Amino acid sequence: MAKLITAQSDSLQSYISKIWSYRYMAIVLAQRDLKIKYAQTVVGVAWTLLQPITAVLIFTLFFHFVLKINAPYPYALFVLSGYLNWSIFSYIFNQATPGLINQSEMAKKIHFPRIIIPLSKGIIALVEFTISFVFFLLLLVLFKIKFTFTFLLFPIALLPVLLFAFGASLMLSALTIKKRDLLHIVPFFVNFSIWFTPVFYTVNLLPNQYQSLLYINPITSSIHLFRNIFFGELLNPYFFIGLIVAITFFILGVITFKSIEEKIIDNL
């Protein structure tokens, strides 16, 4: 049967269906990038552990022992639980935003939904999270944290940061096709985002009137829920605001990217 080709753009439903049909391409791209990243290294993906280990050591030394910031449970676990979630955002936003420009040759020569490129970066972020998460579990054992069945709910905690990171990177990726100067915003934004996220400090260090504002940040919502699951922190109702913000960014990101995808080749 002949396939009908029209100039009309895909509906959102057919667009999502097309993405699903190319899902294996995202996995292949992620595998390729991981091989390139760790090629000719002695310990390979074990380098992924270097960043969280370094973060735990530095933040614990400076903020816990020097500035005397404490947590209701071992501070090393407090820092690592926050850093793991923040690093998901950091990697996706840093890598997915310029992804189209970096892969412009492939995007020009091969027909596929270009959203697959930033999606592959999300897969890499999850792979590296999984490796670091094993280190987190080992620390739970080391600090004798009692395991419960609620620990199995931790993937739910990742939803706000994943949706937000992917949505934000899609929107900026679409805009940077014509406005390349925006790419300089990415490292600047990522570097400062950790200071507006309770990775190494507790929310109650802020004045009461500002504490709830932190939960507008979807990364904070993920960290808060993650710590609730593993350490029983009481959930702040404002957690849902961060989730709503994340969903909003994700929807807007997909719609924005879809609207310019057919024009991408002309501008790459």
Report DSSP letters for 213-228, one per residue.
GGGGSHHHHHHHHHHH
pLDDT of residue 34: 87
| Whole-number Å distance between alpha carbons of 266 and 178 | 10
Q: At what angle do helices 239-261 and 218-231 cross, to 10 degrees?
A: 130
Assess whether pLDDT exceeds 60 at residue 231.
yes
Q: Percent of the chain, pLDDT > 70?
A: 92
118 lies in some domain: yes
Q: Within the chain, where are the H helices?
A: 12-21, 23-38, 50-59, 75-96, 99-102, 104-109, 116-142, 154-157, 159-176, 185-193, 208-211, 218-231, 239-261, 264-267
| Whole-number Å distance between alpha carbons of 169 and 153 | 26
The stretch 188-192 carries a mean pLDDT of 82
| Whole-number Å distance between alpha carbons of 35 and 259 | 32
CA dihedral (179, 183, 188, 192) positive or negative = positive
Biggest CA-to-CA distance, the chain: 72
9 lies in some domain: no
pLDDT of residue 4: 47
12 lies in some domain: no
Give the number of C-alpha atoms closer than 13 A to the C-alpha of residue 89, restricted to the C-beta side. 30
How many domains is the chain built from? 1
Q: For residue 87, what are the domain limits?
A: 43-267
Q: Tokens 């209701």: give the residue.
A: 72
27 lies in some domain: no
105 lies in some domain: yes
- What are the pLDDT digits (tens) for 29-78? 999 988 887 776 656 667 788 888 998 999 999 998 888 888 889 999 99
14 lies in some domain: no
178 lies in some domain: yes
Q: Tokens 């593993």: give the residue.
A: 230
CB 101 within 8 A of CB 177: yes
pLDDT of residue 1: 42
Q: Which of 206, 103, 222 is nearest to 159 (CA)?
A: 222
The stretch 200-222 carries a mean pLDDT of 88
How many helices (DSSP H) and strands (DSSP E) are in the chain?
Answer: 14, 0
- What are the pLDDT digits (tens) for 254-268? 998 888 877 766 666
The stretch 77-96 carries a mean pLDDT of 94
Q: Which of 158, 160, 163, 174 is nearest to 115 (CA)?
A: 174
| Whole-number Å distance between alpha carbons of 268 and 263 | 9
Q: Which of 6, 22, 15 is nearest to 258 (CA)?
A: 15
Categorize the per-residue pLDDT at 156 as very low, low, confident or very high, splitting at 50, 70 and 90.
very high
Q: What beta strand segments (E) does the chain contain?
A: none
193 lies in some domain: yes
